[in-house]
Amino acid sequence: MTFEIFLQMFPIALMFSAPIILTALGGLFSERSGIVNIALEGIMMVGAFTGATITVLLENSTPAAAWIGLLGGLLAGIVFSLLHAVASINLKADQVISGTALNILAGGLTVYLCQIIFHQQRTRAFSYGIKKLSVPGLSKIPVLGRMFFDQVYPTFYIAIAMVLLTWFVVYKTPLGLRMRACGEHPQAAASMGINVSKMRYFGVLVSGALGGLGGAVMVLTADIQYTLVSIHGTGFISLASLVFGRWNPFGVLGAGFFFGFSTALSFYAKDIPLLSGLPGEFFYILPYLLTIIALLFFAGKSVGPKAAGQIYESGER
């Protein structure tokens, strides 16, 4: 019986994991280039708002509305993250403060735009978001088929593809090598003729793209409309996944899945005999509790990029 619940739960866990993984990968790019990006939460909100709005507005004219919505979320994330890049790279602002400001801004901005477009504090509900699909053939594999290929959101496959792509870019290409050097020791990178600002722009904008995409994915799979609380801390959970996953794409995959699973658990706990005794609220706080624990245990260890968060002065000795 419990195993049946587990099988049912799995695709839901994948659904919750996808945005966390995508956004955490975004954070990976930013931090590897040396810029701490706690604006991921706000970026997700902007992406989610844009994704939902485009879907609502286009769904009567094209069946691909939700997919265009994803793309729109991605682009909106880039534009929004540009603010963080300018503040922390050109203006040399404290990156945590800049990120916090963007998180606050995102809430106000999206609700304001909803008010203008929809005359209410949320977007209109869309009829379909991203649709589930079953992979022909593979979904028939016993057990595994039901876990990964039957009635799942394709966004999870996007997340997996992004993990591989990130790994390839960060560890195998000259671009990745240079970007990581900027996050570890920008003076060394600069002395080798690398343009540190350019690299950091790249990192932050990619984090905007992936965070915006993550936000759009989240609202278009797990929600019916964008509201102020659609993201409810998922950006921070992504940040925790990045720390938990030790700034490594595969680590992020594991951590993201872990958090996705713990979110799914809150929906199924009442059906699992062992857990049904606990109050339901417990499972709602679980992902956040785990986030705090993850940060407590791992944040102190200096495994992250050494220069992340430090302001880079080009002439410094």
Q: What are the residues binding other proteins (CB under 8 A)?
A: 172-174, 177-178, 180-181, 184-185, 187-189, 191-194, 306, 315-317
Q: Which CB, 136 or 193, lies closer to other proteins?
A: 193
Q: In this structure, which amino acid lies at residue 164? A: L
**208 Rama class: left (phi>0) / alpha (psi -120 to 50) / beta:** alpha
Least distance (Å) between residue 180 CB and other proteins: 8
Q: Which CB, 131 or 306, lies closer to other proteins?
A: 306
Q: Which CB, 212 or 251, lies closer to other proteins?
A: 251
Least distance (Å) between residue 311 CB and other proteins: 11
Q: What are the Cα distances from residue 13, in Å, to 18, 158, 294? A: 9, 15, 19
Cα(228)–Cα(130) distance, integer angstroms: 20
Least distance (Å) between residue 200 CB and other proteins: 15
Least distance (Å) between residue 303 CB and other proteins: 9
Q: Which CB, 186 or 208, lies closer to other proteins?
A: 186
Q: What are the Cα distances from residue 8, in Å, to 4, 13, 41, 257, 279? A: 6, 9, 29, 16, 21
**2 Rama class: left (phi>0) / alpha (psi -120 to 50) / beta:** alpha
Q: Which CB, 60 or 302, lies closer to other proteins?
A: 302
| Residues whose CB falls within 8 Å of the CB of residue 303, separated by 6 or more in sequence, listed in order | 246, 247
Least distance (Å) between residue 239 CB and other proteins: 21
> At CB < 8 A and 24+ separation, what contacts does 281-287 make?
286/262, 287/237, 287/259, 287/262, 287/263
Q: Which CB, 189 or 216, lies closer to other proteins?
A: 189
Least distance (Å) between residue 118 CB and other proteins: 44
